[in-house]
Chains A and B, each alone.
Chain A
């Protein structure tokens, strides 16, 4: 980005394909309730494949793209260190073990989902999971309401009402609101 072409203090290690696979397998099975902190710990602190800044940039790209963030991140990360094969390997490492586990759980649920005790346990977990999501929303909303007036809360509330109350299809709500919100961001400075 600068005319001084001295390379930045970049991560020194280059993972091999098998290291890449191992790392994402470990991240995938450690990540209860969101694997991002685990991915960060592994890549930045333990293996030093990326600096904190490089990690943030790669993750910003993953959030910028639609779809599951960590899945996107595995592709972005794998691509950088191993090309197309790296991307495939990282994705396979991230999704492989959870897919096996969840398929077993799905089969168990199909068979025992009617058991009363299991139903009660899941009801308790689901109630807690809903609360957890409310906390996530509150944390995300905090900065939006402490800065000076902006379009953010209006857009967020409109998206909420459209999807949760009116039950409009997500693509319509997105196409209706995203351009408006982006335009506000564009002209804000």
Chain B
């Protein structure tokens, strides 16, 4: 029962679904740890590729789990990984939404929400670190990362233009 990759995919992503405070971006380092370091499903480079594909395709960024699932076990893997990542949290949303209004102003709820902000900030910071390490294999890639960070912080430029520029620079053979 424990040998099937589908069972493994389901177990990891269902658990991750419940600890990913801050959404898809907060879950990236744990996905990387599992897919690259623990299970050896893919290389660092392949993980970075999949993140890139998930970024440029439409829809929620969490869609990267579909790519990982597909890589591990084809269509079935894609379905299982996506269902595991969305299922538990959707169920939780379904249950909590009905009582949420009652606790809107409760001190414990405000405390939990405020307390989780720094945790998810640290996790998203870790995502940026893990991805930069996987993607920046030379000084030019590092420069793209640095310039993008500054541009995205200082302007409201649509990220698609940044991805287009990054892709063209990559294609030109500098990286």
Contact = CB atoms under 8 A, between A and B. Distances in A.
Interface residues of B, number: 110
User: How would you classify the secondary structure of chain A's contact residues: helix, strand, loop or mixed?
Assistant: helix
A122 B49 contact: yes
A174 B19 contact: yes
Most buried by A among B89, B151, B158, B165: B89
24 contacts: A33-B159, A64-B113, A67-B89, A68-B85, A68-B89, A72-B93, A79-B94, A79-B97, A91-B86, A102-B59, A120-B171, A123-B49, A123-B52, A123-B137, A124-B170, A129-B131, A134-B132, A137-B121, A152-B118, A155-B119, A163-B122, A163-B123, A170-B33, A177-B122
Interface in A79-133: 79-80, 84, 87, 91, 94-95, 97-99, 101-103, 105-107, 109-110, 113, 117, 119-133
Interface string A59-71: 0111111111111
Interface of B: 15-25, 27, 29-30, 33, 37, 45-46, 48-63, 66-67, 70-71, 75, 78, 82, 85-86, 88-90, 92-94, 96-98, 100, 104-105, 107-119, 121-132, 134-137, 141-142, 144-153, 158-160, 162-163, 165-171, 173, 175
Given A65-B92, A67-B89, A156 B122 contact: yes
A174 B29 CA distance: 13
Interface stretch (A7-15, A40-48, A138-146): A138-146
Nearest to B48: A126
A170 B135 contact: no
Contact of B168 (A79, A124, A167, A188): A124
* Residues of A in contact with B, size category: 35 or more
Given A75-B93, A102-B57, A123-B52, 12 more contacts: A65-B89, A65-B96, A94-B60, A106-B70, A122-B170, A129-B51, A131-B146, A135-B151, A156-B119, A174-B19, A181-B118, A185-B111
